[in-house]
Amino acid sequence: MGRPPPTSFEWIEAVAMREPDRIAVVQDRQAWTYASLLRGIDGLGRCLQALGVQRGQRVALSQPGFYLQLLGLLACENIGAVSALFSARDDADAPALFGLVDWVLSEAPQQVPVAARFQLADTAFIEQALAAPTAIAMQAARAVLEPHEPQRLIRTSGSSGLSKFMQVSRQAMEHWIDSGAENSGYGRDTRLMLAGPLVINTAFSHSCACLRRGGTLLAVSGSALPALDPSHIWALPLHLERLLAQLPPQFQARRKVFVGTVGGFVSPQLRERALQVFGGPLISRYGANETGGICYDLDAQGRGVLSAGVDVRIVDEAGAQLPAGQTGRIVLRTPAMADGYVGAATQGDTALRDGWFHSGDWGALVGPRLLQLAGRHDDLVNLGGIKLPAVRLEEQIRGLLALRDCAVLAVRLDGGAVTVGIALAQEPGTEQAPQLRLLEQSLQLGTGARVLFVDALPQLASGKVDRLALLRLFATS
């Protein structure tokens, strides 16, 4: 009963009314105050309403740059539309997304189905939408969604193929945002560096959490970061490595910086490097797009305490629950669960069913609410007759060789036999033959394994390894 909780727009409005000149977003060399952010959200929202965008309709958006993407997402939320981001170029998931939405807005022409309406959101369109009065509107447009109403259309990582799309309710998004703020300690003095794209729902929810508390979002390169004195950094491991490489030589943060990662294994070397540069803790989170956060912090061995509100069962291949300590498939439910896969009922029946998400991960409950990850269910590799999670083999290889990165996966080659595929991205100037001999001797790979040297691992828009592209490389090498 009663009114739903305030939206991100309403929280931003409250900060803008108290401190209109407070800095909300910094992108490259440009900064926007809370007052200008508020006007931008309101102006773009009114423009969408003038086009005919209605409450509950789905809108796919693309724009260059962090700030305009953030404006688009918040403007949709503020008029009650369901938002989704895509890249105007080279987004393999875009055609599937266009088939699920009512509107497509992009800075570049797009081929959309007859059922969807397209609007060219070029520079002239954006300038007109943001041509708001200099004063804050006395009666800003707003729609306060009920908890059950849809708010976001998000995608899976697509690391093993094309992404699936999920609809997330207002209630689920509130949990995404609240848990991010509480676990990260965001406040008025937070200066949060976002080193991951907003297409990742966690990046957007952390952005909202920071802005709701009057903090500042930083979307800048590593070379510009020292002058902005961040208090927090959020990144995928790959983005964190890139950020560290961009920093000036010998740079050390003036204060302890809280570093949060999600979406992949954090090697001991990366942990140590981040600690040396930023001085603060590195928090490696475990979660899923279908469920939100699962474990707030994983240690270097992949073990972490379940977050509040997360229920986990460990089951065998037949779905029978296993006793504590035994490894099996992780099945879970959280307050941030997606409603299901949109336009893919059969996929939803197998993964999101009966109120639980049947994940693709192996793990075990090894103590009271203590989860031990063992790797991806579909990423087990057979090494000398022993099945190992690929992530554990990757960890061993990173500790053994001087590499920029590596990836391990099960591949079907040589007449359909399943073998181990190892992709190595070497440091410049490193010879291949000595590394290959060391790898074969230390891991006893035998003749079945296939090692592939690459300049760089193929990546998705999210920054994760594109495992499907890697499979193609192995098949053609």
pLDDT confidence band for 70 (50 / 70 / 90): very high
Of the pLDDT bands very low, low, confident and very high (cuts 50, 70, 90), residue 18 is very high
Count of beta carbons in the 10 Å neighbourhood of residue 130: 17
More confident residue, 371 or 435: 371
Do 346 and 426 belong to one domain?
A: no
The residue among 354, 376, 398 that closes a domain is 376
Query: Which tens digit of pLDDT belongs to each residue from 365-391?
Result: 999 999 988 766 556 666 655 556 677
pTM of the model: 0.81
223-239 average pLDDT score: 89
CA distance 458 to 164: 20
Neighbours of 252 (CB within 10 A): 10
Q: Is 82 contained in some domain?
A: yes
| One domain for residues 354 and 446 | no
The helix/strand/coil state of 94 is helix
Return the exposure string of 221-251: e unless at least 16 CB atoms fall within 10 Å of the residue's CB, then b: ebeebeeeebbbbbbbbbbbbebbeebeeee
Q: Are residues 402 and 357 in the same domain?
A: no
Q: What is the largest CA-CA distance in the chain?
A: 73
Mean pLDDT of 56-62: 97
Instruction: Report which of 455, 462, 162 is spatially closest to residue 473, judged by C-alpha positions.
Output: 455
Three-state helix/strand/coil letters over 123-183: HHHHHHHCCCCCCCCCCCCCCCCCCCCEEEEEECCCCCCCCCEEEEEHHHHHHHHHHHHHH
What value does the mean pLDDT take over residues 38-43?
Answer: 92
Q: Are residues 89 and 216 in the same domain?
A: yes
In a domain, 302, yes or no: yes
Q: Say if 12 falls within a structural domain.
A: yes
Residue 416 has pLDDT above 90, yes or no: no
pLDDT value for 346: 47
Same domain, 50 and 180: yes
- Which long-range CB contacts under 8 A does 355-359 form with residues at least 24 apart? 356/313, 356/331, 356/332, 357/288, 357/290, 357/291, 357/331, 357/332, 357/333, 358/329, 358/331, 359/288, 359/290, 359/329, 359/330, 359/331, 359/332
CATH number of the domain that residue 450 is part of: 3.30.300.30
Give the CATH number, domain containing residue 96: 3.40.50.12780
Q: What is the pLDDT of residues 276-305, one digit of tens each?
A: 999 988 998 889 889 999 998 888 778 899
Write down the pLDDT at residue 472. 77
Residue 257 included in any domain: no
User: 201, 166 in Cβ contact below 8 A?
Assistant: no
Q: Is residue 2 part of a domain?
A: no
Last residue of a domain, one of 376, 401, 425: 376
Closest C-alpha to 455, from 422, 428, 417? 428
For the chain, the average pLDDT equals 86
8 Å CB contact between 401 and 425: no
8 A C-beta contact, residue 406 and residue 436: no
Percent of the chain with pLDDT over 90: 50
Asked if 372 and 388 sit in the same domain, the reply is no
Q: Count structural domains, the chain.
A: 3
Q: Are residues 33 and 120 in the same domain?
A: yes
Is position 306 within any domain? Answer: yes
pLDDT higher than threshold 50 for residue 268? yes
* Residue 343 sits in the same domain as residue 449: no
- Position 153 in a domain: yes
* Integer Cα distance of 58 and 83 in angstroms: 6
pLDDT at position 348:
45
CA atoms within 13 A on the CB side of 174: 17
Tell me the residue ranges of DSSP E strands in 164-276.
Answer: 165-169, 191-194, 216-219, 232-235, 257-262
48 and 118 share one domain: yes
The better pLDDT of the pair 343, 34 is held by 34
* pLDDT, tens digit, 9 for 90 and up, residues 443-473: 766 556 788 899 888 887 667 787 767 877 8
For residue 358, the domain's CATH number is: 2.30.38.10
Same domain, 409 and 370: no
Mean pLDDT, residues 191-202 taken together:
91
Range(s) of the domain holding residue 417:
384-476
Q: Which three-class secondary structure state does DSSP give residue 275?
A: helix
Query: Which residue type, as a one-letter code, is found at position 144?
Result: V
364 and 393 co-located in one domain: no
- Domain assignment present for 283: no
Q: Looking at the structure, do residues 361 and 421 belong to the same domain, yes or no?
A: no
Last residue of one domain, picked from the residues 337, 360, 376: 376
